[in-house]
Structure 1
Amino acid sequence: MERSEEIKKAEKGAWLSIIVYILLSVLKLAVGYLGNSEALRADGLNNSTDVVVSVAVLIGLKISRKPADENHLYGHYRAESVSSLIAAMIMTLVGIQIIINAGRSFLLSDYSNPDMLTSWTALFGAFVLFFVYFYNRNLAKKLNSSSLMAAAQDSKSDALVSVGAFIGIIGAKFGMPWLDSFTAIIVGVIIIKTALSIFHEASTLLTDGFDQKRLALIRKTVEKTEGVLDVKDIKAREHGNKVYVDTTILVNPNLNVVESHKITEDIEKKMLVEHKNTFVLVHIEPYELKDLS
């Protein structure tokens, strides 16, 4: 499957999130205000900002579809990571705002008396968002899309938020009026925790961070290639769903150019077979003759 086709499929996941979040935010905010539930209003506000998050993801995916040009020889795939960073920052701001508002109500004992309809609305929203989470998570894994995975994780946190809102509202109806505000505070904490996780992953990709265990597996692939006597250096970085590896190998200095080139071709073929979408640039250096004896 070509990368452009993969991105188009990822865009469908982003569009699904946008449509669902618009519908749920309108429903939760309306029912939350009419039913007097602070937890459901916080949940609805969270979903309304998630529309912005999903739009950011969609824009990142569209930019990443642009072909390589003279200023972006590796393509525009990292636009996905940038959109993930934007999503994380928006989520953090929303989480902080929810904690401030709910914390004020909790400390001042300014509790609400929510209607039962608000609890069923929250539970309905949770089921819908869990469906969106599983759909986008599976699609993100299939396409290796960091921004779509960020959107999926956001949907999961939102589903947990809705579950929390449901519990808080039920508690408020059965003798614990403080639980509605307290649940809203927990909602904010969950949102911030998820945002920090997304931020860490996206910033790692943008700064050329790479998992060392994964790099060790790639190194083994190079070492096991016939003709490779040692791996002097190896490093890797990610661009979208592609991995680019740079390695320096040591070979028998008595090999001619054709024989040495065949080793590099063998490495390239094995890399694509054993590590999907992984491309390698091989530099060859001679092994010391004294070490061959």
Structure 2
Amino acid sequence: MVSLLIRLLIKDYENIASQSVQKSYAKLCSAIGILLNTLLFTVKLFSGLISGSTAIITDGFNNLADAVTSIASFLGFCLAGIGSGENHLFGHGRYEWLMGFLSALAVLVMGTTLAKNSITSIRIPQNIEFSWMIVFLLICSILVKLYMFFYNKNIACKINSSAMKATASDCISDMAATTAIMISLIVQYFTGWKIDGWCGLLVSFFIMFSGLKSMMEIVERLLGQTPDKDLVDKITTIIMQYSQVKGINSLIIHDYGLGHYVASMHIEGEEENSAILSDIANEISYKLYLQMDCDTTIQIDYLDTDPVLYDLIYKKAEQEIQKFEANGKIKSLRIVKSGLHKNVLFIISGSRKLQKKQDQVRVSINQSILSVNSNCRVITKIVIAALHSKK
């Protein structure tokens, strides 16, 4: 069904690289999710009211929560597609994240309310009216969620959507919850054990966990998380096809939603290739714009490749680090020409204790390096890393 709707409703549906096509895929899947989850909510609410099962009603509201999430996603994609404006030069793509956060909060509140109802059902158990028709409807619900899992996962891989990957994972949780409820009905029918309230409580925990997980994922994106490895690899591949580029440093990628990125970086090369490196930097910016809709700022660093100077500076800095922490180590060292000066850039890995002493470490390393060459300007950054004792 989804494949047919894609062919009928999405123009140029095979052009997956297009942002507009990706957005159309996401909006279509959100609309289908709203329809199917609303249908499941209606069926389960009806079944729960007939049977008197708190667990089935709770599971129905779980589907309603999924429908709310799909509505938020749909609205988020619509708002995100507004484009750039005078006050939002990089577009409105993060509206998708904001709507996702609000819907996750609503899901968390809903799960809490349903948990209270389930606890009441545990304290005062209700008789459940068993029906094989209700079991059949629950099996159909599981199959619908299985179908939703497959199409969400398939399209998420096509358009590289983390939101749709999360939706696919949520379908698995929903299938597990509905299966548990179906088993509880059958167990209660054959044994008389009244475990309906406990199953309802279990499903409400599923709902709360899902809402909390979604909130944390969105918060991580808003705080700025490590770029996706495939994205970094794609950018690196475009840059390193030029033999004059010897390396990339300080690559920073800002995600503004809907596949729009802003990147800054330093590319390294030899000073005798300065003219061609400027042309290469412009060429890289244009390629990243065409292929990834990425606004790019590139700085060219001309490396000082004198091995004697490099080794001397490395040893001096290493000695200073050992004074503060035995397991601290130099993660990277670059010596960059800058007119009459040489910029010496360190990244040092160490413990949180070493990071707290960053100002002292900087002064110590700076004094040590200046004793070697007074024209050096030292830039030191300490990052927290897992440390292993030296043998």
Class of the TM-score when normalised by the shorter of the 2 chains? 0.7 to 0.9
Among 245, 268, 271, the residue aligned to 1:228? 245
What SS is found at the alignment partner of 2:245?
coil
- Cα distance in 1 for partners of 2:83, 2:235 equals 30
Is 1:247 matched up with 2:265? yes
Structure 1's 210 and 277: CA in aligned 2 closer, same or farther, altered over 3 A? farther
What SS is found at the alignment partner of 2:195?
helix
- Cα distance in 2 for partners of 1:80, 1:246 equals 24
* Deviation digits for residues 204-228 of structure 1 (CA, Å, limit 9, x no counterpart): 2222212475677468545674222
Among 102, 105, 126, the residue aligned to 2:142? 126
- Cα distance in 2 for partners of 1:223, 1:176 equals 69
- State the Cα distance separating 1:247 from its structure 2 match: 0.7
Is 1:81 matched up with 2:100? no
1:189 aligned partner: 205
- Cα distance in 1 for partners of 2:72, 2:300 equals 43
* Greater fraction strand: 2
What SS is found at the alignment partner of 1:56?
helix
Structure 1's 260 and 93: CA in aligned 2 closer, same or farther, altered over 3 A? same
Structure 1's 25 and 205: CA in aligned 2 closer, same or farther, altered over 3 A? same
Percentage identity across paired residues of the two chains: 22
- Aligned positions of 1:105-254 closer than 5 A: 105-106=121-122, 108-116=123-131, 117-211=133-227, 217=233, 221=237, 222=239, 225-239=242-256, 240-254=258-272
- Aligned positions of 1:3-22 closer than 5 A: 3-22=19-38
Unmatched segments (≥5 aa) in structure 2: 1-14, 310-391
- Cα distance in 2 for partners of 1:77, 1:32 equals 39
What SS is found at the alignment partner of 2:101?
helix
- State the Cα distance separating 1:272 from its structure 2 match: 8.3
* Deviation digits for residues 46-89 of structure 1 (CA, Å, limit 9, x no counterpart): 22233222211110011111121112222222222222212321
- Cα distance in 1 for partners of 2:76, 2:23 equals 10
- Cα distance in 2 for partners of 1:249, 1:140 equals 33
- Cα distance in 1 for partners of 2:294, 2:183 equals 46
- Cα distance in 2 for partners of 1:177, 1:232 equals 64
Structure 1's 214 and 135: CA in aligned 2 closer, same or farther, altered over 3 A? closer
- State the Cα distance separating 1:255 from its structure 2 match: 2.8
Q: Bigger shift: 115-124 or 263-272?
A: 263-272
- Give the total of aligned pairs: 290
Q: Bigger shift: 164-173 or 8-17?
A: 164-173
What SS is found at the alignment partner of 2:61?
helix
* Deviation digits for residues 216-254 of structure 1 (CA, Å, limit 9, x no counterpart): 746854567422234341222323224433111232223
Q: Bigger shift: 197-206 or 14-23?
A: 197-206
Is 1:102 matched up with 2:133? no
- State the Cα distance separating 1:95 from its structure 2 match: 1.9
- State the Cα distance separating 1:145 from its structure 2 match: 2.9
Among 73, 85, 88, the residue aligned to 1:69? 85
* Deviation digits for residues 239-279 of structure 1 (CA, Å, limit 9, x no counterpart): 3224433111232223343x012332564588689x96666
Structure 1's 212 and 135: CA in aligned 2 closer, same or farther, altered over 3 A? closer
Structure 1's 150 and 72: CA in aligned 2 closer, same or farther, altered over 3 A? farther
Larger Rg: 2
* Greater fraction helix: 1
- Cα distance in 1 for partners of 2:228, 2:308 equals 30
Q: Bigger shift: 53-62 or 110-119?
A: 110-119
Structure 2 contact 244–273 (Cα < 8 Å) conserved: no
For 2:278, give the aligned amino acid: H
What SS is found at the alignment partner of 1:69?
coil
- Cα distance in 1 for partners of 2:93, 2:53 equals 42
- Cα distance in 2 for partners of 1:135, 1:190 equals 22
- State the Cα distance separating 1:28 from its structure 2 match: 1.0
Unmatched segments (≥5 aa) in structure 1: none
For 2:174, give the aligned amino acid: D
Is 1:284 matched up with 2:300? yes
- State the Cα distance separating 1:197 from its structure 2 match: 2.6
Structure 1's 67 and 269: CA in aligned 2 closer, same or farther, altered over 3 A? closer
- Cα distance in 1 for partners of 2:285, 2:307 equals 26
- Cα distance in 1 for partners of 2:153, 2:282 equals 35
